[in-house]
Amino acid sequence: MNKKVRKAIIPAAGWGTRFLPITKVIHKELLPILKKPAIEILIEEAFEAGIEEIILVISSRKQELKRYFEVNHDLELELFKNKKWDLLKSLKTTNINAKIRIVYQEKQLGLGHAIAVGAQWIDDEPFAVILGDDLIKSKEPAIKQLIREFDDKQASILGVQAVEERDLNKYGVVVPFKGYDPKDKSFKIIGAVEKPKIENAPSNKAILGRYIFTPRIIDILTNLKPSKTSNEIDVIDAFSKLLKEEDIYAYQFSGTRYDIGNIEGFVKATIDYALDDDKLREVVLEHIKEKV
């Protein structure tokens, strides 16, 4: 019987140092893309894809993330008294704490460690991982595309896209099986390389923040020793061990991906979301015309 993907882990324990000084007081995940914090957009993506439970991995210093998804009864009562129905409706997504499980990661030992910490609430079942620095704008949620591919393959799926050659040393890059067609949406991989030298990159397909894993990865990550170079639990190292036992596929998902872990990507995402907003599009276009 084929297993379904019901849960997703979202790691969100980091300091957000690239956004200092604001991240001293406002967590990076709560910085807004228009009126919604980035973390809410990611969680909406998961629920739109049919995910039933989010496991949000945070540090104990990030209680504001937890509070954001709790019901604010005083605020809702005030809005109700003043018949602010649209504003009440806008809180619907934020009041989903019953579907979000908070897990604490006190030591930040890399992505692999964050997944292992969150996976304590994963039963013997496949699960999704959504990275907070990767915002993907698409007609069909990116993680839903991967889930559909998992339903077909019943194997771990890595979300990838082609990136410019000059940027390959910024990402984990997959090693496709010999003879693969770069135009294929889905293909087996035989490995992955973390931030390769550009001249040594095995392909131009970078892993971009969306994964579906079989439960076998949990034991591998739990028993994996930190890398000698980074002192972190490297998920790329886990791939090589998993490949000795199971197939792993790369899937070229559709959509525009923004690296909102840096200010340039965050600004691009904000502009594009504004241009897609009926109330803001003309304002933004007119302002840009005045400035350029």
Any idea what the CATH number is for the domain that residue 139 is in?
A: 3.90.550.10
Domain annotation covers residue 84: yes
Whether 270 is in a domain gets the answer no
Helix, strand, or coil (residue 3): coil
Is residue 280 assigned to a domain? Answer: no
How far apart are alpha carbons 2 and 113 in whole angstroms? Answer: 27
Q: For position 7, what pLDDT does the model report?
A: 97
Write out the E strands in 59-184: 100-104, 127-130, 134-137, 156-162, 172-176
Tell the residue number behind the tokens 């002192």, with chain if given. Answer: 231
Q: Is residue 279 part of a domain?
A: no
pLDDT tens, residue by residue, 92-146: 766 565 589 999 998 889 999 999 999 999 989 999 999 999 999 999 999 999 9
Model pLDDT, residue 1? 67
Predicted local distance difference test score (pLDDT) of residue 14:
87
* Low-confidence residues in the chain, pLDDT < 50: none
pLDDT value of position 111: 94
Q: What per-residue confidence (pLDDT) applies to 89?
A: 86
The domain tally of the chain equals 1
Nearest to 134 by CA among 171, 96, 173: 171
In a domain, 139, yes or no: yes
Tell me what pLDDT residue 75 has: 93
User: For residues 203-241, b (16+ Cβ closer than 10 Å) or e, as one string?
Assistant: bbbbbbbbbbbbebbbebbbebeebeeeebbbbbbbbee
Is residue 266 in a domain? no
On whether residue 286 sits in a domain, the answer given is no
Structural tokens at position 76: 């809702």
CB-CB contact of 128 with 253 (8 Å):
no
**Would 58 be classed as within a structural domain?**
yes
Q: Could you say which DSSP state residue 224 is in?
A: P
| Amino acid 179: pLDDT | 86
Evaluated on CA atoms 175, 180, 181, 186, the torsion sign reads negative
Range of the domain at 115: 7-261
